[in-house]
Amino acid sequence: MKNIILFGAPGSGKGTQSTALVERYGLRHISTGDILRKEIQAQTELGNKAKELMDKGQLVPDAIIIAMIEELIAKSTEVKGFIFDGFPRTVAQAEALDSMLVRYGQKISSLLELVVPDDVVMQRLLLRKEQEGRSDDNEETITRRLQVYHTQTAPIAAHYAKQNLHHSVDGTGAVEEVTARLFQVVETLA
Ligand code: B4P
């Protein structure tokens, strides 16, 4: 099984590139951002709590996210592997994911980091605000999300580098160019 973490700053192209990876390799896509946005739309208790935090550019508590992922993995039988998009976002989430996978006789195959400078990310997300109107895509919240990324999320790269599972991929340029770079790395994975 291939279990891939697609990693990077907000707006680095995780959601965009997940679609291409899922199509090519038939992996099960798990996007915590998408799951949370569905909860918000359905106005569940979790959704209301998540909206408050997401609109401030903060992370949803680890315990909630970890329980959500555990349930999804338990339900996903007969899959070729997973593509984790936007998860893990803290080292605690990464450690919980590692132990969860061990319980299912699985492990992470690779963490693919999409490297995109902060100013490019800012431009992309402001453009998405115009196109899709996501409430967390305004300048103040994006700045906060980037701070949270650099302090709480970026250390995850070192966690997987220690296991020789970290690969950096240039996330700038056209979507198709980035996809081609990702495919090149995935082809080298066992
Ligand atoms: P996410 O939904 O994960 O949102 P994101 O980080 O902004 O990235 P996304 O995948 O949507 O965007 P993409 O880079 O593809 O998280 C939202 C919030 O949910 C978080 O801030 C947090 O509060 C909460 N949350 C989610 N997961 C959590 C967790 N595990 N723990 C705690 N809290 C969690 O694309 C961005 C834009 O760039 C798009 O418009 C796209 O079209 C464009 N784009 C992509 N590639 C491009 C390219 N090569 N060139 C030009 N534009 C490009």
The mean per-residue pLDDT over the stretch 86-105 comes to 96
Residue 133 Cα to ligand 1 middle (Å): 13
Cα–Cα distance for residue pair 136/77, rounded to 1 Å? 34
Q: What is the pLDDT of residue 78?
A: 86
Cα–Cα distance for residue pair 167/31, rounded to 1 Å? 20
Number of CB atoms found within 10 A of residue 117's CB: 12
- 128 class by beta-carbon count within 10 Å (0-12 exposed, 13-18 middle, 19+ buried): middle
Q: What is the pLDDT of residue 122?
A: 97
Residue 99 Cα to ligand 1 middle (Å): 25
Query: Does residue 28 have an active-site annotation?
Result: no
The mean per-residue pLDDT over the stretch 131-148 comes to 96
Residue 190 pLDDT > 90, yes or no? no
Q: What is the pLDDT of residue 5?
A: 98
Query: Does residue 134 have an active-site annotation?
Result: yes
Residue 130 pLDDT > 90, yes or no? yes
Cα–Cα distance for residue pair 98/58, rounded to 1 Å? 23
Query: Does residue 145 have an active-site annotation?
Result: yes
The 10s digit of each residue's pLDDT in 6-24 is 999 999 999 999 999 999 9
Closest residue by CA, ligand 1 atom 49 = 175
Residue 129 pLDDT > 80, yes or no? yes
Calculated CA dihedral for residues 2, 34, 138, 49, nearest 10 degrees: -120
Give the model's confidence band at 36: pLDDT under 50 very low, under 70 low, under 90 confident, else very high. very high
Cα–Cα distance for residue pair 142/145, rounded to 1 Å? 5
**CB-defined site of ligand 1, < 6 Å:** 10-16, 32-33, 36, 53-54, 58-60, 65, 86-87, 89, 93, 124-125, 128, 136, 145, 174-175, 178
The mean per-residue pLDDT over the stretch 97-109 comes to 95
pTM above 0.75, yes or no: yes
Residue 46 pLDDT > 80, yes or no? yes
Number of residues that make up the chain? 190
